[in-house]
Structure 1
């Protein structure tokens, strides 16, 4: 019996080692292809010589960011950094891969909608289309890496915050805020109105709150708070809902209501009539921020509903347990 048990242990260990080796090999191949795709994407459009606009610059910065972080990850893996902090590394890698996939997807969509379609037919347009294609390829590669890491987590029965419902909601909240930041990078949209500057402050505050929650979980610091982490997260979510609700009222009011200086019609925006501008006009940016604000508010509401249901379930189970 001891011999049989030893053989089983050796077989299990070898199987686990082979699975880890396969995972590392696939992960390394995916990361090299991610590096190539993002490098080609920003290289194609970096020296086009025509204005990209605020949103175009945002997409270019996304490709540069993904390229730089992926390169750093490859260097750290070459230096065997993951073996020193394995659990942290797995959580960091899946978090980054999720964000990179979302960012590359949003860059592909926004770049094609807000920039490529306005370019005249010719070599510049072809290069922009090729950059969009490589951005889509990068999205697929990052999504494949997420699936690969997810399988590894399920194999080892390890939970990761970003792969849970509240974690995914937090990622969507911060991701939507990043897209909003891309559209409000044009400061002329809000700098003349205090109410609109308040909306920008709301987007920033709520983004930082969600980012703090993610960082606390990434660093395993969520249980070091003076209050229970679920209560802390519920309070932040409720505050974010109130702030976003105010932004959802003020932003469209001051952007589209003519009584307070807004522009209700797209035709009234001079930038939308400029045929020499190869980017989305200011009125469209205002509308995009309005829609994204409503979407993010719904995500926060879903986050609040999740935690409220969880607390209700815990309360009911506590009452049942106390009664019995």
Structure 2
């Protein structure tokens, strides 16, 4: 009787661990967590289910040697998925206990399941961080763009932008002044361009650009830094200065959006520095 032997490695076991952790997290929450429909509950379930599904896909493709049959770059796809999964599980690990454990008095079956989901969500985030650490490019190593520091920064930039969209859209907080609409335009334009870079790299379509990919990255990086610098200054001024303030007090969502705007500015600045070093120093 022939035996099917799967090669094992540290990376394989990290992926299996992440698969099991995310499975337990969303199973416990969905089965007996007594969660409300919509809102943050659906977001957390999505984080775990998306991470589980993509990790299962990566495992199956890798173990059965199907990399050449899928229309994506295998040097970019797994680490991109792992980085997004790490951020998604990390966000769920923070959001889930804040919304669904903090105001749950006493012990109950639903509370116990929510605690299990929180613990395994944290473990999944750690596992995905471990996968990113194992697969990212080392100095002098040839790897896909998404395995380099600029590639990973693109993932962080798009994720932070998504959080900003959530914060400023419920309720809408950017339509009181043209300057705030400019900030929203900055978030959207930079998000679209960063996501386009991710899609081009994962889909191996960088050669479709009318200009060299390195020059596109440099020009876009400089543009994004300048645009986010203006948003980092304008957003808090027009949200918190009493001369322009529409609301009686600043909400925690607006403060968080200001902080994340500054964070994304720093991410784009670091991205520009890494890209300039890769393009000019390597040349």
1:22 is aligned to 2:8: yes
Deviation digits for residues 104-133 of structure 1 (CA, Å, limit 9, x no counterpart): 123213434x42564232335444332221
Match of residue 147 from structure 2: 163
So what's the TM-score if we normalise by structure 1?
Answer: 0.70
Instruction: State the distance in 2 between where 1:102 and 1:131 align.
Output: 16
Instruction: State the distance in 1 between where 2:143 and 2:162 align.
Output: 26
Select the residue among 278, 283, 289 that pairs with 2:257.
289
Instruction: State the distance in 1 between where 2:25 and 2:185 align.
Output: 32
Instruction: State the distance in 2 between where 1:258 and 1:48 align.
Output: 43
Match of residue 131 from structure 1: 117
Structure 2 CA distance for partners of 1:42 and 1:184, relative to 1, 3 Å: farther
Structure with bigger gyration radius? 1
Match of residue 185 from structure 2: 201
Instruction: State the distance in 2 between where 1:191 and 1:313 align.
Output: 43
Deviation at 1:222, TM superposition (A): 2.5
Deviation at 1:212, TM superposition (A): 1.3
Deviates more, 1:216-225 or 1:92-101: 216-225
Alpha-carbon RMSD across the aligned residues, in angstroms, is: 3.4
Instruction: State the distance in 2 between where 1:169 and 1:252 align.
Output: 24
Gaps of 5+ in 2: none
Select the residue among 241, 249, 252 that pairs with 1:257.
241
Instruction: State the distance in 1 between where 2:202 and 2:25 align.
Output: 30
Please state whether the residue corresponding to 1:293 is helix, strand or coil: helix
Deviation at 1:82, TM superposition (A): 2.3
**Alignment map for 1:3-18 (pairs within 5 Å):** none
Deviation digits for residues 244-298 of structure 1 (CA, Å, limit 9, x no counterpart): 22322333233323332344746xxxxxxxxxxxxxxxx1111111101001001
Please state whether the residue corresponding to 1:142 is helix, strand or coil: helix
Select the residue among 210, 235, 239 that pairs with 2:223.
239
Deviation at 1:66, TM superposition (A): 1.2
Select the residue among 274, 280, 299 that pairs with 2:267.
299
Gaps of 5+ in 1: 1-17, 267-282, 318-324
Match of residue 105 from structure 2: 121
**Alignment map for 1:132-151 (pairs within 5 Å):** 132-150=118-136
**Alignment map for 1:301-320 (pairs within 5 Å):** 301-309=269-277, 313=281
Structure 2 CA distance for partners of 1:130 and 1:201, relative to 1, 3 Å: farther
